[in-house]
Structure 1
Amino acid sequence: MHERPLFKTLFAVPLHCDGCVDSVRKALSQVEGIQSVACHLEDQLVEVEGTAGPSAITSALGGIGKDCILRGSGTPNSAAVCILETHALGVENPVRGLARLVQAGPKLMIIDLSLKGVSPGAYQASIRQNGDISRGAASTGGVWEESDSPAGLSRGRLGQIEIDQTGSGGVLLDSPVEIWELIGRSIVVSRRTEKFEQDDEMTLVGVIARSAGVWENDKIVCSCSGKTVWEERTEQTSKGML
């Protein structure tokens, strides 16, 4: 385990007055790993610096009734995201998880992994050789770098996440890799690391894609749909997005 350096995350948060700012600051002061909070009332943005994952921050804000949208993390070209879905047929809401990846330092990537709607137990998270998810996890290849590393020591093995009786769980992991090495590959979260079955509803897979760094994403209205970020948020939440 590496000592995690500080990194920044930026959130859109409905801030109506100084009272909102005070309540946000108070809530985030209770989150372990947060070093500083800057609230921008006019821009409706909250900037956080520390070692806390975005999921811990969104949970704390949700606890005081504040919705929020992650607008960026890390520095430019240092962040990625992976939406994790089941590829079992006939599933109404296939999205079951989200992995946010931030380059916190040279050869140090932090992964904020959260899941919901899965069976309780221990799951293994791994980076796969390719981003072909046409057959779910079965078409993603083996664990990345597994053939070139001693047994169990591949950089592609991210670690374990425990799911509680509510079907939810989250974990902050780190790995000695660079974001650029992973773009276009995939992440699989499953009870197994090989011989995947496409009808296994509890095996999740997604492609790793770049995401915005802090202050890189100033979109308020989507140019494609004309929807605000909050309208998009409501729509995506209804589809099972975390």
Structure 2
Amino acid sequence: MRMMERPPFKTLFAVPLHCDGCVKNVKNALSQIEGILNVDCHLEQQLVEVEGTTAPSKISASLQAIGKDCILRGSGDTNGAAVCILETHAPNVGNPVRGLARLVQVGPEFTIVDISLKGLAPGTYQASIRQNGDISRGAASTGIVWEEDMKGAEARGRLGQIEVNSEGSGGMILDVSIAIWELIGRSMVLSSSTGSLQQYDEATIVGVIARSAGIWENDKVVCSCSGKTVWEERVEQTGKGML
């Protein structure tokens, strides 16, 4: 599953930028991260374009560390990015969202999988891509691990383990020999349970992998549907548990 050297790619974030001082602070913070090659701040549009080999979650964490909220607006090339919102199907849960997986294709059959988790019970979770995207019965209806039925080859659907700490947070960044188009419509499952997957298992989260915007494919500030700014929507989604 591990790849050779990761090629650089571009990522676009919406970031509140009010003055040249904000631009300087953002550039100073991001310049400290290994793997970042270039940072362009678009003050009028309140957008930050980053080029390098660094996963989106690390860039987000660095911006948040200096008090800047940020929203990922696009990464990679057209048809080269995907996202998966990971939710629990356990009953009587107010906010079901427990994680987010960002996937960026940076070369032929070369994809970065960037998973962030929160609100889970501590422990070791097995991450996998499943054969189908049917989550009508939670993880129980997602089928076998993708490519598990192929003989003579390691199943590319097995992503590995993620450790969730005592605060309920965890994450994993890895490179896989997969193209984005192979994943769209399949599901991703993370589970700390042993044995077969169950629909209402509190130790299991699941989501469907869907295409997301490439670089500069989504630079809107106001949603045409709701009329709300991206920051107003951000507050609503954060309240629902979104990372």
Report the equivalent of 2:225: 224
Write the deviation string for residues 45-99 of structure 1: whole angstroms up to 9, x where unpaired.
1011111111111111111110011000001110000000000111111000000
The answer on 1:185 being equivalent to 2:208 is no
Report the equivalent of 1:47: 49
Post-superposition offset of 1:198: 2.2
Match of 1:26, SS state, is: helix
Write the deviation string for residues 137-180 of structure 1: whole angstroms up to 9, x where unpaired.
000000011000447x2011112211111110111112111101
Write the deviation string for residues 179-231 of structure 1: whole angstroms up to 9, x where unpaired.
01111110001124751122221201000000000000022211221111111
Is 2:145–2:157's contact at 8 Å kept on the other side of the alignment?
A: yes
The answer on 1:62 being equivalent to 2:64 is yes
Q: Map residues 24-43 of structure 1 onto 2, 5 A cutoff.
A: 24-43=26-45
Return 5+ residue gaps in structure 2 as ranges: none
Report the equivalent of 1:84: 86
Assess, with a 3 A threshold, how the Cα gap between structure 1 residues 128 and 193 changes in structure 2: closer, same or farther: farther
Report the equivalent of 2:170: 169
Return 5+ residue gaps in structure 1 as ranges: none
Instruction: Indicate the larger mover: 66-75 or 195-204.
Output: 195-204
Assess, with a 3 A threshold, how the Cα gap between structure 1 residues 31 and 149 changes in structure 2: closer, same or farther: farther
Is 1:87–1:199's contact at 8 Å kept on the other side of the alignment?
A: yes
Normalised to the residue count of structure 1, the TM-score between the two structures is 0.96
What is the distance in 2 between the residues matched to 1:52 and 1:198? Answer: 35
Post-superposition offset of 1:115: 0.2
What is the distance in 1 between the residues matched to 2:151 and 2:232? Answer: 46
What is the distance in 1 between the residues matched to 2:185 and 2:204? Answer: 19
Residue type at the aligned position of 1:45: L
| Percentage of matched positions with identical amino acids | 72
Q: How many residues align?
A: 241
The answer on 1:209 being equivalent to 2:210 is yes
Match of 1:188, SS state, is: strand
Write the deviation string for residues 114-149 of structure 1: whole angstroms up to 9, x where unpaired.
000111122111110111001100000000110004
Report the equivalent of 1:237: 238
Post-superposition offset of 1:240: 0.0
**RMSD, aligned CA:** 1.3
Q: Please list every run of at least 4 consecutive aligned residues from structure 1 whose deviation after the TM superposition is greater than 4 angstroms.
A: none
Instruction: Indicate the larger mover: 7-16 or 26-35.
Output: 26-35
Normalised to the residue count of structure 2, the TM-score between the two structures is 0.96
Post-superposition offset of 1:44: 0.6
Report the equivalent of 1:74: 76
Assess, with a 3 A threshold, how the Cα gap between structure 1 residues 43 and 5 changes in structure 2: closer, same or farther: same
